[in-house]
Amino acid sequence: MLSSLNPAAQQFLTNLTQINNRLAQAELQVSSGLKISQVSDAPNSIALLLQADANLSATRQTLSNLGQTKSEVDAGEQALQTAVGIFDHVQTLAAEGNTDTQTAAGRASIAQQLNSLLQEMVGLAGTNIGGRYIFAGNSDQQIPYIYTAGAANPVSAYLGSASTRVAQYPNGTTFPVALTAQQIFDSPDPTTNVFSSIQNLSAALQSNNSAAIATAVDGLSKVGSYLNDQLAFYGNAQNKVADATNFGNTLEVQLQTQISSLRDADLSQAILSMTQDQTQQQAALQSEAKLPRSTLFDFLA
């Protein structure tokens, strides 16, 4: 059986096919900007590329979550800053009421001011960001406290729940970012309970009881220190969120660079290869066209 092509012609077609394949690949890279368009383009790099893509997606989700967390932590820190300022005012009023020259009417007036400040504290406990009561623990759709003016005990029991809220670093580690209003304002330790310290002072002033006033005033310093500690928690949380965000931004750039190095074409090299392959293709076709053609009739003549 005779072959339809002689060895030289077969080799020419093989070489031409290789040139055409390289040319098609170079043209695809130039048009798409990618050196990997399908698994067969670089099978050894696919696993690395898929892992880098997954890591980049996870990092971006973590950064998005940190953005939401930052809003809540910043709001918490601002609320605690305000609470510390209010409590400073409480201590100023306490000093005014705890003097031998202060009248019963004057103390009653100070007591009313303290009641207003207590209501402001309860309002801060109900700080709401993006539809979430940030101090209500895991029950973030429930306002933590209700204030009822004129009631013997105007502040309700805590209506929220414990908090297990944490934020995540891009490396997977976590850190706490929230306290409850009960922890901050309504400590089970009466010597650090913000609400009861104001209520007790107000009641002592209203009754014009000098001994009770002195006792209530003496306890304010420890309560103030405790409230500042809660503020410090949110300051630390802000720092951790900032660190995690910076880490995530750096990681995002690194992953984008890795993906680009694996997937993106070197356009200068691709254009050069395309030009070279086009030149080789034209040269091969021109050379083949110049080869002498012999047929059976040439040998029979």
Domains and CATH numbers, the chain: 68-242 (1.20.1330.10)
Task: Confirm if 280 and 287 have CB atoms less than 8 A apart.
Answer: no
* DSSP letter assigned to residue 156: P
Mean pLDDT, the chain, whole residue set: 84
| Angstrom distance (rounded) from CA 58 to CA 52 | 10
Distances (CA, A) of 187 to 72, 126, 173: 22, 16, 29
Mean pLDDT calculated for residue range 93-113: 97
What is the predicted pLDDT for the residue at 258?
84
Nearest-angstrom CA–CA distance, 112 and 133: 28
Structure tokens at 161: 């729940």
Which pLDDT value is given to residue 7? 65
At residue 267, the pLDDT reads: 47
What pLDDT does 2 receive? 46
What is the reported pLDDT for 1? 46
Calculate mean pLDDT across residues 178-198: 97
> Tokens at residue 204, please?
């002592």
Distances (CA, A) of 31 to 37, 46, 155: 11, 21, 69
> Distance between CA 257 and CA 268 in Å, rounded?
18
- Is residue 179 scored above 90 in pLDDT? yes
Looking at residue 293, its pLDDT comes to: 55
Residue 93: pLDDT over 60: yes
Tell me the longest C-alpha to C-alpha distance in the chain: 142
209-228 mean pLDDT: 97
Of residues 37 and 176, which shows the higher confidence score?
Answer: 176
Question: Which pLDDT does position 33 carry in this prediction?
Answer: 52
C-alpha dihedral, 19 to 21 to 23 to 26, nearest 10°: -140
pLDDT score recorded for residue 271 = 57
Which residues contact residue 84 at a Cβ distance below 8 angstroms, ignoring those fewer than 6 apart? 224, 227, 228, 231
276 vs 162: which has the higher pLDDT: 162
Which helix (H) or strand (E) element contains residue 226?
A: helix 220-263
Higher pLDDT, 268 or 162: 162
The pLDDT, as a whole number, for residue 300 is 54
CA distance 106 to 99: 11
Q: Provide mean pLDDT across the span 149-158.
A: 94
* Cα 189 to Cα 210: distance, rounded to the nearest angstrom: 24
Tell whether the model's pLDDT for residue 279 goes beyond 70.
Answer: no
Residue 40 in this model has a pLDDT that exceeds 70:
no
Q: Which residue has the higher pLDDT, 187 or 271?
A: 187
